[in-house]
Chains A and B, each alone.
Chain A
Amino acid sequence: MSHHITEARDLFYVYPDGRQAVSGISFRIHHGESVGIIGANGAGKSTLLMLLTGILRPAKGEVVIGEVRLTKDTLNMIRQRLGMVFQNPDDQLFMTTVHDDVAFGPRNLMLDEAQVEERVISALEKVGISHLKDRAPYHLSAGEKRAAAIASVLSMSPDILILDEPTSSLDPKSRRRLMKILSGFEHTKIITSHDLDMVLELCQRVIVMKDGRAIADGPAKDILTNKTLMEEAGLEIPLSLHGCPVCGRSKSDAD
């Protein structure tokens, strides 16, 4: 459990239609770190996540997780340590009940049924939806679906959690609940999002992507307050850092 370093070494990826989605990204993420990956639409965030999880294979460069290079042979081993939560929970919740979905991963690990049950219960408890165990996915609200999707990954006991737009399509209250759940995890977290306020709250470090490249990598507070950098990336400063719309007083002034 000690050194789960996630490393991208000069990654390149070109789609079959010739579009260069990721062109030369490198970073090292340490155990327990919480990193936000931000950038405009089409900057290559989702492609990067797919490269990290081995769904796509890089044209050049390599992914190293905990000192093991991601190759065809190590894929299964590495995937057990990674938990990826998809942007659309409907893609991830493919079974007919929450329980079966959360149990899908552990069952593939060939655990016996008692262990599977234990993992399911503990995963559901961690995200606070034990009462929804036997529900069908269409019964759940957007927030509950997201929680179920996270539970389906947690039941695999991953070391690293990768979340693609976790707060999209959530109402404010569900978003707040989700952020509380996420901040309680000790896992390494890699989060892509347009919800910059969430990134500011949950991540210590931020990587800014533009046209498949990382144009900045550093502490979240420094990057998210850098107006020129944010505008260059097609983003803007998080709302919580904006001046008060009524009195005009800026938050940073108040600090």
Chain B
Amino acid sequence: MPNIVNAIYNIRGFDELARQDSFIHRLHPLAKLLATLVYTVVLVSFDKYATIALLPFLFFPVFMAAAGRIPAVPILKRLLYIEPMIICVGLLNPLFDRGTTSILGQTMSSGWLIFISIVIKGSLAVATALLLMATTGMDGIALSLRKLKVPKIFVLQLMLTYRYISVLLEEAARTIQSYALRAFSSKGLKREVWGPLLGQILLRTMDRAQRVYDAMCLRGFAGEYHIGKAPRPSWGDFLYVMGWGTLFAASRAVNLPLWLGNLLTGAVK
């Protein structure tokens, strides 16, 4: 139950954030998607022992959050939710990899190093993906998919799924609630009701699909999905992607924090 309610609020929360207005929100969705993709690819291209070198990759999500006026709390909350899984997989490394490695002049367990690297990479990738959603929204994603020449039928189907998730989550929540009120248990559905309970919702869903189809046909749907004109990306959008791309490439090529540290400690001397 709390699962379902959380999911509803999570999706609607992101939808709300995406409807705000800011510099980031006004960027072309495709530019944001591409920048995020390039970011993710460069980030995960780092070696499994990379740690300090990953830190410059913090700039991008911080910039998106600040310029997009996205509050940190919902993003961090979601991050905490995901983190256990990343940590679990990461923790297996110190267990299996008992070797040591030297980093920054210190001897360290290489397993732990991998663990730290995985946690940093995972958190950054997750935060950035969430920020993309919080500043772009599902409509923006659909728009970029079309720009990427994804077949319209698939886009329509994706958007229908998105549209009805809200409706079906509510329906499932109501059904489970009425079950829980009579089953006096919050542990989950007993096996006897798996089929009937889920099956009922399924049949209602199929009836709904039929009505949705009817509604579409009555308004001229004939297998083809016509969408309005999509805005074209501007030079600003292009520069946004290129600018960040250059920064990512530079951070990939040069261990910036180490360089900065050397510069500073050198200057102190």
Contact = CB atoms under 8 A, between A and B. Distances in A.
Given A96-B159, A110-B226, A91 B220 contact: no
A2 interface: no
B227 A107 contact: yes
A79 B218 contact: yes
Interface in B196-211: 208, 211
Interface in A114-167: 116, 134, 136-138, 152-153, 156
B227 A94 contact: no
Interface in A52-103: 53, 55, 76, 79-80, 82-84, 86, 88, 90-92, 94-97, 100, 103
Interface string B8-52: 000010010001000000000000000000000000000000000
B221 interface: yes
B218 A113 contact: no
A110 B222 CA distance: 12
Nearest to A149: B215
Contacts of B218: 53, 55, 79, 82-84, 153
A80 B219 CA distance: 7
Most buried by B among A76, A80, A104, A105: A104
Contacts of A109: 220
Contacts of A110: 226
Nearest to A109: B220
Interface stretch (B161-169, B179-187, B250-258): B161-169
Interface of A: 50, 53, 55, 76, 79-80, 82-84, 86, 88, 90-92, 94-97, 100, 103-105, 107-110, 113, 116, 134, 136-138, 152-153, 156
18 contacts: A50-B214, A53-B214, A55-B214, A55-B217, A82-B218, A84-B218, A91-B208, A91-B212, A91-B215, A94-B212, A95-B163, A96-B138, A96-B159, A97-B139, A108-B221, A113-B229, A137-B163, A153-B218
